[in-house]
Amino acid sequence: MAREYLKKATLTATSDAPEVQEAVRAILADIETGGDAKALEYAAKFDRYDGNVLLTPDEIEAACALVPEKLKADIRFAHDNVKRFAEKQKSSVSDMEIEIVPGLIAGQRAIPVDAAGCYVPGGRYSHIASAIMTVTTAKVAGCRHITACSPPRPGVGVPPAIVYAAHLGGANQIMAMGGVQGVAAMTFGLFGLPRANILVGPGNQFVAEAKRILFGRVGIDMIAGPTDSLILADAQADPLVVATDLVSQAEHGYNSPVWLVTDDRALAETVMQLVPGLIDELPEVNRNNAFAAWRDYAEVVLCSDREDMAACSDAYAPEHLTVQADDLDWWLNRLTCYGSLFLGEETTVSYGDKATGTNHVLPTSGAASYTGGLSVHKYMKIVTWQRATRDGSKPVALATARISRLEGMEGHARAADVRLAKYFPGENFDLSSSG
**What letter does residue 23 receive in the DSSP assignment?**
H
Q: Which residues of 25-40 are buried (b: 16+ CB within 10 A; e: fewer)?
A: eebbebbbeebeebbb
319 a catalytic residue: yes
Helix, strand, coil fractions of the chain, as percent rounded to 5? 50, 15, 35
Q: How far apart are CA 399 and CA 387, in angstroms?
A: 17
Q: Which element (helix H / strand E) includes 198? A: strand 198-200
Q: In what order do the strands lie in the sheet with 145-150?
A: 173-176, 145-150, 115-119, 198-200, 219-220
Whole-angstrom distance, CA of residue 216 vs CA of residue 32: 16
Which runs of E-coded beta strand occur in 235-364? 258-262, 299-302, 320-324, 340-343
CB 114 within 8 A of CB 197: yes
Cβ atoms of residues 318 and 338 within 8 Å: yes
The one catalytic residue in 79, 167, 320, 360 is 320
The residue from 79, 319, 407, 412 that is catalytic is 319
Q: Are 217 and 232 in contact (CB under 8 A)?
A: no
Examine the residue annotation and report whether 269 is marked as an active-site residue of this protein. Answer: no
Q: How wide is the angle at C-alpha 295 spanned by C-alphas 253 and 19, nearest 5°? A: 50
H-state helical runs in 47-127: 57-65, 69-91
- Nearby residues of 77 by Cβ (< 8 Å), 6 or more positions away: 355
Residues marked active site are found at: 319-320
